[in-house]
Amino acid sequence: KAGVTQTPRYLIKTRGQQVTLSCSPISGHRSVSWYQQTPGQGLQFLFEYFSETQRNKGNFPGRFSGRQFSNSRSEMNVSTLELGDSALYLCASSFGGAWDTGELFFGEGSRLTVL
């Protein structure tokens, strides 16, 4: 069974640009959640999608957005990139109808560097 796949794994952007990251969950998983990890702030929750709807949201500005497609694949977008957006972006998928009913399966992450 394939795991959670994130693309791209590494990318470099400049300030002001925008970026789109992709996450393909484990087959059958309907919940996809996104996280940002930085050395200073640690892991922080961005948002969670379930059946194409954003169900839960963390405390990030509107520059951070996402969506989920009918096949459960998800994308997140960051517009007007800032230096502080440099981070490892992780997604996780889970099986249950509510994401507190089972374990989370994480992808390897997309490492974004903003210059």
Q: Give the type of residue at 93.
A: S
- What ranges make up the beta strands (E) of 1-115? 5-7, 10-13, 19-24, 31-38, 42-50, 53-57, 64-68, 74-78, 87-94, 105-106, 110-114
Q: Does 58 bind another protein (CB under 8 A)?
A: yes
In whole angstroms, the minimum distance from the beta carbon of 72 to another protein comes to: 18
Work out which of 7, 57, 63, 80 binds another protein, going by CB under 8 A.
57
Burial class (CB in 10 A: 0-12, 13-18, 19+), 58: middle
- Of 19 and 47, nearer to another protein (C-beta) is 47
Residue 109 in contact with another protein, rule: CB under 8 A: yes
Count other C-beta atoms under 10 Å from residue 112's C-beta.
Answer: 20
Of 13-21, 35-43, 63-71, 77-85: span binding another protein (CB under 8 A): 35-43
Instruction: Tell me which residues touch another protein (CB under 8 A).
Output: 33, 35, 37, 42-45, 48, 55-58, 88, 90, 92, 99-100, 102-106, 108-109, 111
